[in-house]
Structure 1
């Protein structure tokens, strides 16, 4: 089923933000490891919790993008 221009834009936006969250989580994991190696376990654990939140948000956004593709979620044409 074909998506209209607005739905394609919505899907791309959702995928883009999900990708940004994925990249951010990777970077935060790198920072968490540096904190751990520096002996700052409290901040390392807090940073890892942020990564888990980002990963959950990424999955949710990708699910929304899949729903747009399946026409479960749509965006009306702008007037």
Structure 2
């Protein structure tokens, strides 16, 4: 079943947010590595916690996007 415009936009927005979280998490991981190499392990651990929470949210949003695609989740006017 093809998606209507509202649901297409919802899916697109969810996928965009997922990608943003993914790349932000990558950036945080790289920053954590630099902090760790500089001897700032506590700060590095904090960034790794944040990156992990981004990954959890990324997984949820990707799941919601799949539900929109399958028609389980729909946007109404």
Q: Same fold (TM over 0.5)?
A: yes
| d(CA) in 1 for partners of 2:39, 2:32 | 11
Q: Which ranges of structure 2 fall in alignment gaps of 5 or more residues?
A: none
The list of structure 1 runs, each at least 4 consecutive aligned residues, that deviate by more than 2 angstroms after superposition, is none
Q: Which ranges of structure 1 fall in alignment gaps of 5 or more residues?
A: none
Cα displacement (A) at 1:20:
0.1
Cα displacement (A) at 1:2:
0.5
Residue by residue over 1:16-54, the C-alpha shift from the partner in whole angstroms, topping out at 9 and shown as x without a partner, is: 000000000000000000000000000000100101000
- The TM-score with structure 2 as length reference comes to 0.98
Between the two proteins, the alignment pairs up a number of residues equal to 77
Residue of structure 1 in register with 2:4 after alignment:
4
| d(CA) in 1 for partners of 2:28, 2:75 | 33
Cα displacement (A) at 1:10:
0.1
Q: CA RMSD in A?
A: 0.6
Residue of structure 2 in register with 1:27 after alignment:
27
- The TM-score with structure 1 as length reference comes to 0.95
Cα displacement (A) at 1:59:
0.4
